[in-house]
Structure formats: structure tokens, C-alpha cells
Amino acid sequence: MTLAEEAAALDAADPLAAKRAEFDLDPAVAYFDGNSLGAPPRHVAQRLADVVREQWGGRLIRSWTDGWWDAPERVGERIAPLVGAAPGQVVVADSTSVDLFKVLVAAVRANPGRGEILLDAATFPTDGYVATQVGRLTGHAVRRVPVAELPAACGEETAAVLVNHVDYVSGRLHDMGAITAAVHAAGAAVVWDLCHSVGAIAVRLDEHEVDYAVGCTYKFLNGGPGAPAFVYVASRWQESFDQPLAGWAGHADPFAMEAGYRAGAGISRARAGTPDILSLLALDAALDVWDDVDLAVLRAKGLALGDFFLHCLDELLPGADVPTPRDHARGHQISVRVPDAQRTMAALHERGVLGDFRPPDVLRFGLAPLYTRYAEVLRAVTALRELS
């Protein structure tokens, strides 16, 4: 069987094949950047137009009490099953950077008497920037540690650990259960960044007794550019969740206009500023595509797409430098190192193959199981060979 025949057979047997039709994708383009910006579900544009015309234009200020104000919690409940969270623990609010700041400060405040924050050494840059500023503001030392060494590095001085579930460069998937257990054994709290795993794999926050997590919604969740992020605070920590951005949206009675701050009940206290309604409701609409998705099937296809990508590389570009794990300890992306990654990716874009690169030499190909086809994987690797 040729690679083309194999791709055709895999696409014909794909249990998620029908999902592709729910997305607005140019058939001339092979899209591999859903790990940076997810493709738009077709119905989102019409839903958002209705929000503008009927809610903003028709109901005007009345829309705040018609459902806008409670949307962060309501949309959070739709994300909760995707991250393995029971109700009442997820809220959509603010950006990933802002949410990381809120959660990390709250985590160290909840664990007084300890002087350091441990940080995933290969973290996405914003996590490092935020952790550094939290350390400056709270007086905690920030120490970068490779993820494999985090369990041994935790000690009596460790207040909190911030770690990425999936490494954004290599695509490596870290063991949430084992790392969380090791952090807890040292008496520290753990904050997980889910930006590259939510919507790709079945995250199990409650099962692994995670303390806090944040994640973005514009990657595999397809919420649109700048879509708001979400916060998970385990129910056991909500009463003591003392975050630094005491904005009116997190107040117990935001419309009372009190001079002093009283934190809201439950997960609502993780809110800060006025919600970005248009982006929030675009995300709400985008989440409709997940209503009938079995996350086990999603994960199986994501891994199969990666396996086929590696198979194509072995056949067409033997010896390619692939930092992504060949076993299944990975998210839904394949990374390839090439000498001039930026030039190569630009040339791939000219051929209608849209991935991205990360300096200095990594090409990233995101594999979104809801719409990526095996034939597109073959097209990407074939184009890469032509440029080699």
C-alpha cells in the first residue's frame, strides 16, 4: 500500500471525519496551526451576528441581566468536562497571562512560610514572565527546573510549582498525576498550564487532585483570536482563594458599588474585570462542536495522526530530526528541526501548508483531530521533502 492509499484508507475509516464539515476551512489549504489558532466552526459567525444585532442592538443594556453577566461561569461549565472537572470549578475570564498571575499569587498566599516557586524550565515564555513578576511582588525566589527533575526539586521551601501539561516546542506530554502527587508530597501546590492540551487530550484535573489550572481557548477549543482564558480552582481551595486582582466582577455583590471588596462565592472569585462579551459568546458558540465528541476517540485519532506523520517522515525524509516523542507521551503536534525553520515554513505557506515555527530551528505541525485529515499529513511531509 502506498502512502497515498494508506492516507485514503485512514480518512475513510475516520470516526471523526464528519466533524470537518462543521468548520470553515479553505479546501486548498492544509491547516496545521490549530495549536496556535483553531479553525472557526461555521456557525460561529452567524451566532455572533445575532449577538450583535439581537442582544447588543436589540436588548442593549438589558442583555447584562439577560445572560451576559453570568456567561463566564456558564461557559466555564461547558469547558469543565473537557478538563475533567466537576461543576463549579471552572470560570472563563481574562487572558492566560492575567489568569496565571491571579492563580499563582493565590497559590503562594495559600501556602505561607515557604519562599520559592518552581517553574518548568522549558515553559512557554509568558509563564516565565508572569512567575518572575509574582516572585518580585511576593518575595518568592523563582527557580527554573526541568520537568523531569521537578519531583526531586520540591522541598520544604517550595510554595508552588508551575508546569506546562504539554511542552509547546517538542509536544511532549508530561505526567500530570505523578508530578502532582510528588508536589503534594512536598507540601506544595501545583498550577498546570493546559494551553496545549485542552481540546487535544482528556485532561483529568479532579482525578489527579490538581490544585489550580489555567488554559487558553483559542487553540484546540477554536474560540477565536483573543478568546478569553479559563481558570480552574479545586473546590477545596475556593474559600481561601485570595487572588490579587480584586476587580468588581469578582465581588460578592458587584452591582452594590460598595467601597470595600468582598470576594464572591465559589469560582466566581477568580473573576476580575468586565467580561469580554463578544469574544466570550463566540467561544460559547464554538464549544457546540464538542457536544457529541468522545474524548477517547479524539485522543486516539490525534495519536494516529501523529503516528502517520512520523511514518511519512520515515518514508520520505528518513533521518529527520524530530524532537517530539515517538511513543504516545505527546500532545497533538509533531515538531521537526531544520536549519532555516523560518524560511522553510514561509515556503510551506506558499504551498498552502500552514504550520508555524519556533526559534531557532523548529517547525511545528499541530494535529487537530476534529478537522485534520491524513491526506493533509501526507501533503505536509511531501512538501517538506520538496524543500529539503
Residue 126 counted as an annotated binding residue = yes
* Residue 138, annotated as binding a ligand: no
Strand partners, 106: none
Q: Are 221 and 200 in contact (CB under 8 A)?
A: no
Annotated binding-site residue? 196: yes
Would the annotation count 43 as a binding residue? no
215: enclosing H helix or E strand: strand 212-215
Question: Is 219 one of the annotated active-site residues of the chain?
Answer: yes
Closest by Cα among 175, 184, 199, 177 to 236: 184
Q: Tell me which amino acid residue 18 is.
A: A
| Active site (annotated) includes residue 262 | no
Instruction: State how far the Cα of 180 lies from the Cα of 211, in Å rounded to an integer.
Output: 9
Question: Catalytic: which of 364, 365, 373, 374?
Answer: 364
Q: Is 248 annotated for ligand binding?
A: yes
Q: Is 237 annotated as a binding residue?
A: no
* Cβ atoms of 140 and 130 closer than 8 Å: no
Q: Which residues pair with 56 in a beta bridge?
A: none
Radius of gyration of the chain (CA): 21
HSE-up of 23 (CA within 13 Å, CB side)? 28
Catalytic residue status for 241: no
At residue 280, what is the residue type? L
Helix H or strand E encompassing 312: helix 295-316
- Calpha distance 159→157 (Å, rounded): 6
**Which of the residues 14, 193, 276, 356 is marked catalytic?**
193
| 97 among annotated binding-site residues | yes
The response to whether 124 counts as a known ligand-binding position is: yes
Q: 212-215 and 230-233 as β-strands: parallel, antiparallel, unpaired?
A: antiparallel
Phi first, then psi, for residue 346 (nearest 5°) are -60, -40
Is position 124 annotated as part of the catalytic site? yes
Catalytic residue among 102, 114, 219, 379: 219
343 phi-psi bin (left φ>0, alpha ψ -120 to 50, beta other): alpha
Question: Considering 23, 31, 101, 124, which one is annotated as catalytic?
Answer: 124
311 labeled part of a ligand binding site: no
Q: Is 23 a catalytic residue?
A: no
Report whether 132 belongs to an annotated binding site. Answer: no
Residue tagged active-site, from 23, 212, 218, 374: 218
Residue 268 among known ligand-binding residues: no
* 3-state secondary structure (DSSP) of residue 157: coil
Annotated binding residues for pyridoxal 5'-phosphate, written as ranges, equal: 96-97, 124-127, 193, 196, 218, 248, 274
Annotated binding residues, written as ranges, equal: 96-97, 124-127, 193, 196, 218, 248, 274
Give catalytic residue positions: 124, 193, 218-219, 364
